[in-house]
Amino acid sequence: MNISLVVFQGPSASGKTTLQALLGLPRIVTWTSRAPREGEIDGVDYHFAERETLERMMNEGKMLETSEYRGHLYGTSLASIEAAAGGDGLRSIVLDPSGARVAKALLGERALMLGVSALRAECEARLLARGSDTGQITARLAGYDEEISALESCDLIIRSGEGALERAGEIVRALRPMLGIK
């Protein structure tokens, strides 16, 4: 398989970032105007920046794509995605459905689209445990049905339900030899 980018997508708190870590590929770090959560590190989890900075990057043509997600701006820089498109090593990225469509349009068969699903109630419980308030939970789960529908375009959908993380991790790790990762 000539894959250069593994794209994770799915509803909020479905487990995308967790499975991305278990796959163990270098991550493309995207940009966001939202504040860091506890434990998140600038340059590792995201490039955290003011909205104005991201808008300037957009206007200067430095972003491949941007997306408004629950009141914040997110985006993938052209530089980061071009490195993946140029075959400079296999990478992974976590994107919302609009970003995933752009990555697929750019990379075609070189993008492996992995969907992550969990029940709405499971996502809700995880968001609560993450410290989100009721308003944030409602806003994030407002897109749940649409985000689940968008998984139809994925190459593989992995269910990361409660008590099923180990199983989901095994499935993700089983992809490593197929992707040529030792």
Which residues lie near ligand ATP (CB under 6 A)? 10, 12-18, 94, 126, 130, 160-162, 164-165, 168
Q: Of ligand ATP, ligand LQESDW3C, none, which one sits near residue 164, judging by CB under 5 to 8 A according to partner kind? A: ligand ATP
Binding letters toward ligand LQESDW3C, positions 2-21, x by CB under 6 A: ----------x---------
Q: Of ligand LQESDW3C, ligand ATP, none, which one sits near residue 144, judging by CB under 5 to 8 A according to partner kind? A: none
| C-beta closer to ligand ATP: residue 39 or 86 | 39
| C-beta closer to ligand ATP: residue 56 or 167 | 167
**Distance separating alpha carbons of residues 83 and 106, to the nearest angstrom:** 13
Non-local (6+) Cβ contacts of 181 within 8 A are 24, 25, 90
- CA distances for 93 relative to 25, 35, 46, 115, 139, angstroms: 9, 19, 11, 12, 23
Amino acid in the structure at residue 145: D
**Restricting to residues 91-150, which ones interact with ligand LQESDW3C according to CB under 6 A?**
94-96, 98-99
Backbone angles phi, psi at 30, to 5 degrees: -95, 175
CB 3 within 8 A of CB 110: yes
Cβ at position 91, least distance to ligand LQESDW3C in Å: 13
- CA distances for 102 relative to 107, 163, 166, angstroms: 9, 33, 31
**Distance separating alpha carbons of residues 114 and 112, to the nearest angstrom:** 6
| 20, 33, 67, 160: which one binds ligand LQESDW3C (CB under 6 A) | 67
Ranked by CB distance to ligand LQESDW3C, the top (closest) residue is 99
Binding residues vs ligand LQESDW3C (CB under 6 A):
12, 30, 34, 65, 67, 69, 74-76, 94-96, 98-99
